[in-house]
Amino acid sequence: MTQNPRPKVPRRALDGVLLLDKPVGLSSNDALIRAKRLYLAKKAGHTGTLDPLASGLLPLCFGEATKFSQDLLDADKTYEATMRLGIRTTTGDAEGEAIETRDVACDQPAVEQALAQFRGDIVQVPPMYSALKRDGKPLYEYARAGQTIEREGRQVTIHVLELVACALPDVTFRVTCSKGTYVRTLAEDIGEALGCGAHLVMLRRTGVGALTLEHSVTLDALSDATESERDAWLQPVDALLSTFPSVQLDADATRRFMHGQRLRLADLSVGDDVLQAARTRVYASEGKLLGVARVGEGVLAPERLIVTA
Protein backbone atom coordinates (compact mmCIF):
# COMPACT_ATOMS: atom_id res chain seq x y z
CA MET A 1 0.00 0.00 0.00
CA THR A 2 1.46 3.33 -1.10
CA GLN A 3 1.69 5.92 1.65
CA ASN A 4 0.71 9.48 0.86
CA PRO A 5 3.68 11.87 1.06
CA ARG A 6 3.72 14.12 4.09
CA PRO A 7 2.46 17.59 3.23
CA LYS A 8 5.10 20.28 3.03
CA VAL A 9 5.05 22.77 5.86
CA PRO A 10 4.73 26.29 4.40
CA ARG A 11 7.74 28.52 4.97
CA ARG A 12 7.36 31.99 6.46
CA ALA A 13 8.69 35.24 5.00
CA LEU A 14 10.38 36.63 8.10
CA ASP A 15 12.56 39.73 8.28
CA GLY A 16 14.74 40.31 11.34
CA VAL A 17 17.80 39.38 13.38
CA LEU A 18 18.06 36.64 15.97
CA LEU A 19 20.80 36.98 18.58
CA LEU A 20 21.58 33.33 19.16
CA ASP A 21 23.74 32.08 22.02
CA LYS A 22 25.43 29.20 20.20
CA PRO A 23 26.40 26.21 22.36
CA VAL A 24 29.78 24.47 22.37
CA GLY A 25 29.99 21.48 20.03
CA LEU A 26 27.72 22.80 17.29
CA SER A 27 28.90 24.37 14.05
CA SER A 28 27.54 27.78 13.08
CA ASN A 29 25.87 26.27 10.02
CA ASP A 30 24.15 23.56 12.07
CA ALA A 31 22.93 26.21 14.51
CA LEU A 32 21.56 28.23 11.59
CA ILE A 33 19.76 25.20 10.14
CA ARG A 34 18.10 24.44 13.48
CA ALA A 35 16.96 28.01 14.02
CA LYS A 36 15.70 28.31 10.45
CA ARG A 37 13.70 25.09 10.91
CA LEU A 38 12.19 26.30 14.20
CA TYR A 39 11.10 29.56 12.59
CA LEU A 40 9.98 27.86 9.34
CA ALA A 41 11.82 30.71 7.65
CA LYS A 42 12.17 30.96 3.88
CA LYS A 43 15.55 32.66 3.95
CA ALA A 44 18.26 32.88 6.60
CA GLY A 45 22.01 33.29 6.96
CA HIS A 46 24.62 33.84 9.64
CA THR A 47 27.11 36.66 10.03
CA GLY A 48 30.41 34.83 10.36
CA THR A 49 31.27 31.48 11.82
CA LEU A 50 32.11 30.39 15.34
CA ASP A 51 34.15 27.20 15.68
CA PRO A 52 32.37 24.24 17.31
CA LEU A 53 34.70 24.73 20.32
CA ALA A 54 33.39 28.29 20.75
CA SER A 55 30.10 29.44 22.24
CA GLY A 56 28.32 32.75 22.40
CA LEU A 57 26.85 35.41 20.17
CA LEU A 58 25.95 34.29 16.65
CA PRO A 59 23.62 36.83 14.98
CA LEU A 60 21.33 35.11 12.47
CA CYS A 61 19.69 37.12 9.71
CA PHE A 62 16.26 36.33 8.29
CA GLY A 63 14.78 37.61 5.03
CA GLU A 64 15.78 41.18 4.16
CA ALA A 65 18.27 41.27 7.03
CA THR A 66 20.56 38.94 5.04
CA LYS A 67 21.37 41.90 2.75
CA PHE A 68 23.21 43.57 5.62
CA SER A 69 25.07 40.58 7.10
CA GLN A 70 28.35 41.77 5.54
CA ASP A 71 28.31 44.74 7.89
CA LEU A 72 28.64 42.36 10.84
CA LEU A 73 31.26 40.27 9.07
CA ASP A 74 33.36 43.45 8.94
CA ALA A 75 32.56 44.54 12.51
CA ASP A 76 34.82 44.30 15.57
CA LYS A 77 34.25 41.26 17.78
CA THR A 78 34.55 40.82 21.56
CA TYR A 79 35.48 37.51 23.19
CA GLU A 80 36.24 36.04 26.58
CA ALA A 81 38.85 33.33 26.24
CA THR A 82 40.87 30.96 28.40
CA MET A 83 44.29 29.71 27.34
CA ARG A 84 46.32 26.98 28.99
CA LEU A 85 50.01 27.73 29.24
CA GLY A 86 52.71 25.12 28.79
CA ILE A 87 51.09 23.01 26.04
CA ARG A 88 51.02 23.62 22.29
CA THR A 89 48.60 21.70 20.07
CA THR A 90 48.28 20.99 16.35
CA THR A 91 45.26 23.27 16.02
CA GLY A 92 46.07 25.92 18.61
CA ASP A 93 43.08 24.86 20.69
CA ALA A 94 41.79 21.96 22.77
CA GLU A 95 40.53 20.07 19.70
CA GLY A 96 44.09 19.36 18.53
CA GLU A 97 46.73 16.92 19.73
CA ALA A 98 49.50 18.07 22.04
CA ILE A 99 52.76 18.54 20.15
CA GLU A 100 54.93 20.18 22.80
CA THR A 101 54.95 20.55 26.59
CA ARG A 102 57.04 23.12 28.45
CA ASP A 103 57.39 24.27 32.05
CA VAL A 104 55.34 27.30 33.10
CA ALA A 105 57.69 29.56 35.00
CA CYS A 106 55.84 32.90 34.71
CA ASP A 107 53.64 34.75 37.20
CA GLN A 108 50.68 37.14 36.88
CA PRO A 109 52.80 40.30 36.38
CA ALA A 110 54.62 38.53 33.54
CA VAL A 111 51.27 37.57 31.98
CA GLU A 112 50.04 41.17 32.19
CA GLN A 113 53.29 42.39 30.63
CA ALA A 114 52.91 39.88 27.78
CA LEU A 115 49.32 40.96 27.12
CA ALA A 116 50.48 44.57 26.80
CA GLN A 117 52.71 43.58 23.85
CA PHE A 118 49.70 42.57 21.79
CA ARG A 119 47.52 45.67 22.09
CA GLY A 120 47.08 47.87 19.03
CA ASP A 121 48.06 46.92 15.48
CA ILE A 122 49.80 43.55 15.31
CA VAL A 123 50.70 41.04 12.60
CA GLN A 124 49.23 37.53 12.75
CA VAL A 125 50.07 34.52 10.63
CA PRO A 126 46.75 32.72 9.96
CA PRO A 127 46.64 29.16 11.36
CA MET A 128 46.77 26.13 9.09
CA TYR A 129 43.55 24.90 10.66
CA SER A 130 41.43 27.69 9.17
CA ALA A 131 38.95 28.14 6.33
CA LEU A 132 41.24 30.48 4.38
CA LYS A 133 41.70 29.11 0.88
CA ARG A 134 44.79 28.42 -1.20
CA ASP A 135 44.23 27.32 -4.81
CA GLY A 136 40.54 26.91 -4.09
CA LYS A 137 41.07 24.56 -1.14
CA PRO A 138 40.74 25.54 2.56
CA LEU A 139 43.94 25.43 4.56
CA TYR A 140 42.53 22.92 7.03
CA GLU A 141 42.36 20.32 4.24
CA TYR A 142 46.10 20.70 3.66
CA ALA A 143 46.68 20.52 7.42
CA ARG A 144 44.68 17.30 7.75
CA ALA A 145 46.81 15.83 4.96
CA GLY A 146 49.95 16.69 6.91
CA GLN A 147 50.96 19.59 4.66
CA THR A 148 52.04 23.03 5.80
CA ILE A 149 51.47 25.93 3.40
CA GLU A 150 53.41 29.18 3.59
CA ARG A 151 51.13 31.96 4.86
CA GLU A 152 51.75 35.68 4.86
CA GLY A 153 51.22 37.66 8.05
CA ARG A 154 48.19 39.94 8.14
CA GLN A 155 47.72 43.11 10.16
CA VAL A 156 44.86 43.05 12.66
CA THR A 157 43.96 45.44 15.46
CA ILE A 158 43.56 44.47 19.11
CA HIS A 159 41.46 47.29 20.55
CA VAL A 160 41.12 45.83 24.05
CA LEU A 161 43.11 43.04 25.71
CA GLU A 162 42.70 42.68 29.44
CA LEU A 163 43.31 40.00 32.05
CA VAL A 164 40.16 38.53 33.62
CA ALA A 165 41.64 35.74 35.75
CA CYS A 166 45.05 34.17 36.28
CA ALA A 167 44.98 30.67 37.80
CA LEU A 168 48.15 29.28 36.26
CA PRO A 169 48.52 27.40 34.02
CA ASP A 170 45.12 28.82 32.89
CA VAL A 171 44.75 32.47 31.93
CA THR A 172 41.41 34.06 31.05
CA PHE A 173 41.36 37.29 29.07
CA ARG A 174 38.90 39.58 27.31
CA VAL A 175 39.66 40.85 23.81
CA THR A 176 37.98 43.20 21.36
CA CYS A 177 39.55 42.82 17.94
CA SER A 178 39.16 43.66 14.29
CA LYS A 179 37.87 41.46 11.51
CA GLY A 180 40.19 38.59 10.64
CA THR A 181 41.71 38.14 14.10
CA TYR A 182 42.26 34.54 15.22
CA VAL A 183 41.98 34.39 19.01
CA ARG A 184 43.65 30.96 19.17
CA THR A 185 46.61 32.40 17.27
CA LEU A 186 46.64 35.31 19.72
CA ALA A 187 46.74 32.80 22.60
CA GLU A 188 49.59 30.88 20.95
CA ASP A 189 51.57 34.08 20.37
CA ILE A 190 51.08 35.21 23.98
CA GLY A 191 52.28 31.79 25.10
CA GLU A 192 55.40 32.16 22.97
CA ALA A 193 56.02 35.62 24.44
CA LEU A 194 55.92 33.98 27.89
CA GLY A 195 58.35 31.30 26.75
CA CYS A 196 56.10 28.34 27.51
CA GLY A 197 53.61 28.08 24.65
CA ALA A 198 49.83 27.93 25.01
CA HIS A 199 46.60 26.73 23.46
CA LEU A 200 43.00 27.87 23.72
CA VAL A 201 40.66 25.84 25.94
CA MET A 202 37.61 28.14 26.02
CA LEU A 203 36.26 30.81 23.70
CA ARG A 204 33.00 32.69 24.14
CA ARG A 205 31.95 35.55 21.86
CA THR A 206 30.16 38.26 23.80
CA GLY A 207 29.83 41.02 21.20
CA VAL A 208 29.62 41.64 17.45
CA GLY A 209 29.73 45.31 16.58
CA ALA A 210 27.12 46.98 18.80
CA LEU A 211 25.27 43.68 19.42
CA THR A 212 25.79 41.82 22.70
CA LEU A 213 24.68 38.65 24.46
CA GLU A 214 22.27 40.66 26.63
CA HIS A 215 19.22 39.94 24.44
CA SER A 216 20.35 36.56 23.09
CA VAL A 217 18.48 33.25 23.28
CA THR A 218 19.56 29.62 23.25
CA LEU A 219 18.37 26.93 20.85
CA ASP A 220 16.85 25.04 23.79
CA ALA A 221 14.76 28.07 24.74
CA LEU A 222 13.65 28.49 21.13
CA SER A 223 12.67 24.82 20.95
CA ASP A 224 10.48 25.14 24.05
CA ALA A 225 8.86 28.42 22.95
CA THR A 226 5.64 29.09 21.08
CA GLU A 227 5.71 30.72 17.64
CA SER A 228 4.74 34.10 19.07
CA GLU A 229 7.44 33.83 21.74
CA ARG A 230 10.04 33.02 19.09
CA ASP A 231 8.95 35.96 16.98
CA ALA A 232 9.31 38.25 19.99
CA TRP A 233 13.02 37.37 20.14
CA LEU A 234 13.59 38.68 16.61
CA GLN A 235 15.28 42.07 16.49
CA PRO A 236 14.36 44.50 13.67
CA VAL A 237 16.54 44.56 10.56
CA ASP A 238 18.13 47.87 11.55
CA ALA A 239 19.61 46.23 14.66
CA LEU A 240 22.47 45.43 12.29
CA LEU A 241 22.90 49.11 11.39
CA SER A 242 22.76 50.83 14.77
CA THR A 243 26.26 52.31 14.41
CA PHE A 244 25.27 54.22 11.24
CA PRO A 245 23.74 57.70 11.46
CA SER A 246 20.20 58.00 10.08
CA VAL A 247 18.35 60.06 7.50
CA GLN A 248 14.59 60.47 7.25
CA LEU A 249 13.05 61.24 3.86
CA ASP A 250 9.73 62.82 2.90
CA ALA A 251 7.33 61.03 0.57
CA ASP A 252 8.78 62.41 -2.68
CA ALA A 253 12.40 61.72 -1.68
CA THR A 254 11.36 58.24 -0.51
CA ARG A 255 9.84 57.45 -3.90
CA ARG A 256 12.95 58.62 -5.77
CA PHE A 257 15.32 56.85 -3.37
CA MET A 258 13.45 53.55 -3.75
CA HIS A 259 13.76 53.90 -7.53
CA GLY A 260 17.54 54.03 -7.12
CA GLN A 261 17.94 57.76 -7.65
CA ARG A 262 20.73 59.74 -6.00
CA LEU A 263 19.51 62.57 -3.78
CA ARG A 264 21.24 65.92 -3.26
CA LEU A 265 22.20 66.32 0.40
CA ALA A 266 21.51 70.06 0.11
CA ASP A 267 17.84 69.22 -0.52
CA LEU A 268 17.56 67.02 2.57
CA SER A 269 17.45 67.70 6.27
CA VAL A 270 20.57 65.89 7.52
CA GLY A 271 22.81 66.36 10.53
CA ASP A 272 26.56 66.78 10.68
CA ASP A 273 26.89 63.10 11.68
CA VAL A 274 25.51 62.12 8.26
CA LEU A 275 27.67 64.62 6.37
CA GLN A 276 30.78 63.20 8.05
CA ALA A 277 29.81 59.54 7.53
CA ALA A 278 30.56 57.23 4.63
CA ARG A 279 27.26 55.37 4.95
CA THR A 280 23.89 56.00 6.56
CA ARG A 281 20.65 54.15 7.21
CA VAL A 282 17.64 55.68 5.49
CA TYR A 283 14.04 55.82 6.72
CA ALA A 284 10.72 56.96 5.33
CA SER A 285 8.84 59.71 7.16
CA GLU A 286 6.76 57.14 9.09
CA GLY A 287 9.94 55.48 10.40
CA LYS A 288 10.10 52.48 8.06
CA LEU A 289 13.62 51.39 7.13
CA LEU A 290 14.30 51.86 3.42
CA GLY A 291 17.88 50.66 3.29
CA VAL A 292 21.46 51.90 3.38
CA ALA A 293 23.02 54.69 1.32
CA ARG A 294 26.52 55.92 0.55
CA VAL A 295 27.31 59.54 1.44
CA GLY A 296 29.74 61.56 -0.65
CA GLU A 297 30.23 64.25 -3.26
CA GLY A 298 27.17 66.05 -1.98
CA VAL A 299 24.74 63.20 -2.65
CA LEU A 300 22.97 60.34 -0.91
CA ALA A 301 23.39 57.28 -3.17
CA PRO A 302 21.23 54.15 -2.60
CA GLU A 303 23.41 51.12 -1.81
CA ARG A 304 21.11 48.34 -0.54
CA LEU A 305 17.34 48.67 -0.40
CA ILE A 306 14.65 46.85 1.57
CA VAL A 307 12.12 45.10 -0.64
CA THR A 308 8.58 45.93 0.42
CA ALA A 309 5.48 43.98 -0.52
Active site residue 231: no
- Omega of the bond prior to 169 within 30 degrees of 0, cis? yes
Dist. CA 117–CA 97, nearest whole Å: 28
Q: Name the catalytic one among 15, 21, 30, 51.
A: 51
Q: In what order do the strands lie in the sheet with 246-249?
A: 246-249, 279-284, 289-296, 299-305, 263-264
Single out the residue of 144, 146, 148 nearest to residue 126, CA to CA.
Answer: 148
Give the residue numbers marked as catalytic: 51
